Structure 1
Amino acid sequence: EDMTGEYLTPDSTPKRKVMDIDKVVGKIVRMMRYRQEKEGKEYGVVVLAEGLAEFLSDDVLKDVPRDDHGHISVANVDLGKMFAKRIMAEFTKQTGLKRKVTGLQLGYECRCARPHAFDVMLGSQLGVGAYRALCEEKLNGAMVSVSGQLDLHFVPFEQLVDPQTLVTVVRFIKHNSDFHKLARFLESSSGE
């Protein structure tokens, strides 16, 4: 869900929304209880986008490392464990029962199976590209990218970051591009 209405604290402003963690946790626990009481399910998965860390209060974020522009290091928040601890406590408070909740920050292991030859080649080429960008091309502030048959490209950060917000510019997939058509094909092939 989007962070709106009842899930925001009174500290929220038009420029900075602040999540009411207790209300979000309460909703998750209500869902857990419903599944247990109505469906007999004492298990489940709740997926939280790591971007929710941006909505945490300044109190919660006070010890989280920040970059040179003041942006939080989302990877260092450990949202899963933070929520798991609060969810277990709230579940016990509401029911008098204990429930194990495991917070897990998924990454590579969730996105794909064991690395195959292409993964190794891509990782190696990007590593070689980083070396070439720094040592041979003397570049600083560039992203290493590949296209075609893993041809290296060095993209200056100025082309990737909005100078006003210092946040990476979202690059949308072009409608009717081959990549877009592939996504639509895979959707229809999988029955979604």
Structure 2
Amino acid sequence: MPNSSERIIEVIPFCYNDPKYKCLKKVHIKVATYIITTLLCILFVIGAVGAWATQTHIILSIGASVVAGVCILTTGLLIFGSKKEKQLLFLPYLGFGVVGVGGLVALAVVCVLSIVYADSEPVRNVFYPNHTTTITKEQHTGLITNAAILIAISLVLLFVTIWALILSFRTYKFMGDILFARRPANLLKREEEQFKKKEKF
């Protein structure tokens, strides 16, 4: 029998399939993160292509292209970081997600204001940069329609971005749990603390 100074510490294996690491109680959060972040990249690329195809203001088209590029880059870093278990590579995507949510909310608000003030010069300059002093009735109707479409698109992107942000943050914490569990010193310390708590009772 071991003496009182000896302690037997049970090492419990990391539970990869713990329910808290599941999305919708079925898919592992890593897999769900890959799917949603990739879907978001595709949506941003479609948005950028649509901005150029509809001949929107050049600044909006360039902005949409930059956002799509940053989304692809940060998603690539996130997936690489997940596969290589490098938690810090998640931070660019988390930052992009926070900024993206704010940007999409701002875009939706601007589009709503564009419908309200559809006859103002700044709004016409955005949707019809090559117009003359006035726009036709058809162009006015098209302006409102395009603004409404942009609102719908921004809300869809906002929903997917928030979902991707939540999943990527959960995966970030999951990676932290894995790295913590693989450090013997941390594991022993945690088990030691649990042992001391049991001794008090």
TM-score of Structure 1 vs Structure 2, range by shorter chain:
under 0.3
The alignment's TM-score, normalised by the length of structure 2, stands at 0.24
Instruction: Work out which of the two has the higher radius of gyration on C-alpha atoms and give 1 or 2.
Output: 2
Between Structure 1 and Structure 2, the one with more helix by share is 2
The alignment's TM-score, normalised by the length of structure 1, stands at 0.25
